[in-house]
Amino acid sequence: MSRGALSFGKQMNSRPSHMNDQPNNASGSDSVVTSPDDDFVFLDSSHPESLLQGLNELRKHGHFCDVTLCVSGQNFPVHKSVLASFSPYFRAMFQSNMAESEQEYITLNGVDSTMVSLLLDYAYTSSITITKNNVQSLLSASNLLEVAPVRGACCRFLERHIDSSNCVGIHCFAEAHACHDLARKAKGFFLKHFKKVMAMEEWLDLPVDKVVEFLSADELEVEKEEIVFNAATSWLHKNYAVRAPAFHKVLECVRLPLVSPYFLVDIVEAENAIRTSPECRLLVEEARLYHLLPDRRHHINSTRVIARKNANATMVIVAVGGEDNKLVLRSVECYDPVSHSWRSLSCLPFAVSKHGLVVSGDDVLYLSGGEFPDGSVTRCLWRYDPVLDEWHDLAPMKSARSELGLCMLDGLVYAVGGWDGMRRLNTVECYDRKTNQWSSVTSMQLSITSPAVTSSNGKLYVCGGAILEDGDGMDQVQYYDPHEDSWTLLPSMIIPRSGSCAAVVNGYIYVIGGWHASTENTNKVERYDFKTKTWTLVSSMKERRYRPGVAVVNGKIYILGGEDGWEHFHDTIECYDPATDTWSVVGEMLTGRSWLSCAPLRQHNSYAFENRNIVFVNIVLL
């Protein structure tokens, strides 16, 4: 063996008893790692702290410092390598061709010298103290110098101290410094505790754009919309002369149609800024019409008629009766489009299909006509009371009708056409809820079954329907004017249909699905433009559906059930968004069925879920 080489044999595996296995370190924090070939790796866990302590001592005594930061008249001798290691801001400065990369003295503007001192201490010690007094300045400095750990710690500190008195300020401060998560959480606190926040000075000092942002939020938690109006006027009167000209922008965010009509007249219209503003007067007029014409509420295209998410009301879709491949149903369920949950309501007194269902502006359902399991046709009219969850019978129609069209028009229920058990009908009758009486109106030119009916702007529209024994649909469209008691033809649809459904959204009539030809159901959808008096095809549904249920909720069309061919009943729910012209599957029914009827219904949360079983249906959204 050569003189300079060491030989390690098996005898090295045993040590004399006087040798200590622990390294010479009082802390006992070091670790020893032995690799498979017996190499010795020594890890000193105290080394990073010792290194920082050493560098900090050098900084304090001015040793080896190669750059000086100049901030508001104070100089901070530091090491470039330390600055570059803890701040991407300085790393980019020193690695670029900027003049500062070669300068011995670097001036920092727009940052507080005390905060720079704290950040430099952090760079050399890994420790920093955040207080209520320095957190905002420290976050600003760490944001400018890109010290991400300190910036994040400041955000967490502010988050823990959010309350009603500061949530607005924290939100605005976080937005200014691109602290998106903190801004979102501060805004969430504001929306959840709005009633307390609106009494704070921060709310009264907000700029108009921020007031608009907050009051526009669906997530704003208020028991009633009157609270939102009071908050808006409190803000207004903090600086009336300056804010009054732009107050209409704020009032647009208050959902005036949802306030009490007495509050609207006594309080809203008494506000001087509203009386003197044409824009504000239009908003008040919209709310007046909402209360004056309740049966046209479902046709109003405005976010101001949609309750906030946490309001004391829920919009649901009620599905009534129908039939599957085994039996006629008497079940009544409601579907929540937000939670995708079903809840059972009081059943019908009888099983029925091929009936009609409408909802009034004061959220009362009316069911009329239909066919019983034995094939007999009924004249019945029933009213559903959502408060008591009860069905009550009313005056029957003059004629028995199944496969009829039923529509609510300006407070009256219209029954159109249908089958009386022996023949198709062209007669039309209307029900007056005040007198509990039916009366006949002018008949249609043709006798039809399974038409698609809807109403808009004071007129009743009848689209398609079957006139022949084979049930094939026709393309005729007509409307009834109750003021003239007359029928008028409109341009024909693109596709002849029967068993389709109709809905009005954003000033268009949509006709959906139905029976297209002797052996074919359709998924095609077309819409009618009142202005141009033309029909155009829009996106088709994902499934072909004959006699589905339809309801419009918050400007979207929901289609439930229906059938595609003999004894093939759909249990899916499709939703159409007119803004994107797209259909999507959003839920499933408890049972597949067709010949059902559906209607939207606003239920107050005080009774909507009392003593009821809720059924959640897990689905895969397509």
Residue 333's pLDDT is: 96
Q: Which pair of tokens denotes residue 301?
A: 């295209």
Residue 116, CA atoms < 13 Å, CB-side half-sphere: 23
Can you tell me the distance from the alpha carbon of 610 to that of 600, in angstroms, rounded to the nearest whole number? 19
User: Contact at 8 Å (CB) between 527 and 463?
Assistant: no
Helix/strand number for the chain, H first, E second:
18, 32
Q: Which residue has the higher pLDDT, 82 or 21?
A: 82
Can you tell me the distance from the alpha carbon of 285 to that of 307, in angstroms, rounded to the nearest whole number? 19
Can you tell me the distance from the alpha carbon of 287 to that of 266, in angstroms, rounded to the nearest whole number? 14
Residue 44's pLDDT is: 86
Q: Which of 18-22, 110-114, 143-147, 172-176 is predicted least confidently?
A: 18-22
Q: What phi and psi values does residue 290 have, to the nearest 5 degrees?
A: -60, -45
Could you tell me if residue 190 is left (phi over 0), alpha (psi between -120 and 50 degrees) or otherwise beta? alpha
Q: Mention every residue, 6+ apart, whose C-beta is less than 8 A from residue 617.
A: 340, 341, 342, 587, 588, 590
User: Contact at 8 Å (CB) between 562 and 568?
Assistant: no
* Model pTM score: 0.79
Q: Mention every residue, 6+ apart, whose C-beta is less than 8 A from residue 60.
A: none
Residue 275's pLDDT is: 96
Residue 78 has pLDDT above 90, yes or no: yes
Q: Which pair of tokens denotes residue 128?
A: 């920093």
State percent of the chain over pLDDT 90: 76
User: Contact at 8 Å (CB) between 413 and 439?
Assistant: no
Residue 616's pLDDT is: 37
Domains, in order of start, for the chain = 63-190 (3.30.710.10), 219-292 (1.25.40.420), 313-616 (2.120.10.80)
Residue 34's pLDDT is: 57
Residue 72 has pLDDT above 80, yes or no: yes
Q: What is the pLDDT of residues 533-574, one digit of tens each?
A: 999 999 999 999 999 999 999 999 999 999 987 778 999 999
Residue 345 per-residue DSSP state: -
Can you tell me the distance from the alpha carbon of 458 to that of 600, in angstroms, rounded to the nearest whole number? 20
Report in angstroms the alpha-carbon separations of 266 from 262, 269, 272: 6, 6, 12
Q: What is the pLDDT of residues 355-389, one digit of tens each?
A: 999 999 989 999 999 999 999 999 999 999 998 99
Length of the chain: 622
Residue 301's pLDDT is: 81
Residue 33's pLDDT is: 57
Q: Which of 161-175, 457-471, 481-495 is predicted least confidently?
A: 457-471
Residue 19's pLDDT is: 42
Q: What phi and psi values does residue 99 have, to the nearest 5 degrees?
A: -60, -35
Q: What is the mean pLDDT of the chain?
A: 89
Helix, strand, coil share of the chain (percent; to 5):
30, 30, 45
Q: What is the pLDDT of residues 83-101, one digit of tens each?
A: 999 999 999 999 988 777 7
